[in-house]
Amino acid sequence: MKKTTIIAALAASLMATAAHAGSIKIEGENQLNGAERQSVKIEVWEGLTGPVGVGFEVKTFVAEGNQPAASNIVGKLGYAFPEVAGFTPVLKGEVGVRTGADNAEFWGLGLDLKRPLTQKLSATVGFRHREGFNNSYANRDRILAGLEYAVAKNTSLGVTYFNYRQDDVATGNGTSRTDSLALSLTKKF
């Protein structure tokens, strides 16, 4: 699995230049409760053919208190369905690895619903499930709701609320919930 992630990382690094990337998103996220941790994410997407796209994400968590720095490295494949009642459903599958004190390999599946509200403002709601191949630490669900505002033809600013739910079966610590807020800048090429 780690070899697959490394190959995905190398392929995505080729897409990370303006000449090859469909879009690049930089996002800063701050947890509002729990560990109150901060992270930075860079996500690159490139359209393959028609509604199919491939993506790559690197999310780094800042070391705070007794928590060491950690990173998620994720390869993604997405499919945008035709619009239904003003919403565009986007299905995404992913595989990745979490590095740091709690190394874990995982897979995920998510669905986002995107809808334009005005000519410059759009909304997204979504759900994602992640599950570890070799470690229950990666087992978590995420709900999101966000707004994105086009400040220029190919540039937008966004704000997103995330709710993470994790069942820690391995340690018997029960279910934990974390709320966080993220600000982002997206550039399309």
Architecture, CATH, for domain 2-188: Beta Barrel (2.40)
Residue 150: is its pLDDT beyond 90? yes
Higher pLDDT, 49 or 19: 49
23: helix, coil or strand?
strand
Average pLDDT, the chain: 85
Q: Which candidate, 78, 85, 4, 71, places its Cα nearest to that of 46?
A: 78
Residue ranges of domains in the chain: 2-188
Greatest mean pLDDT among 45-54, 103-112, 117-126, 160-169 lies in 117-126
Residue 157 reports pLDDT greater than 70: yes
Q: Does residue 95 have a pLDDT over 90? A: yes
Among all chains, which residue has been given the structure tokens 């410059």?
A: 120
Angle at 97 between CA 93 and CA 102, to 5 degrees: 135
Residue 80 to residue 92: CA distance in whole angstroms: 9
Q: What percent of the chain has pLDDT over 90?
A: 61
Give kind and range of the element (H or E) at residue 68: none
The residue length of the chain stands at 189
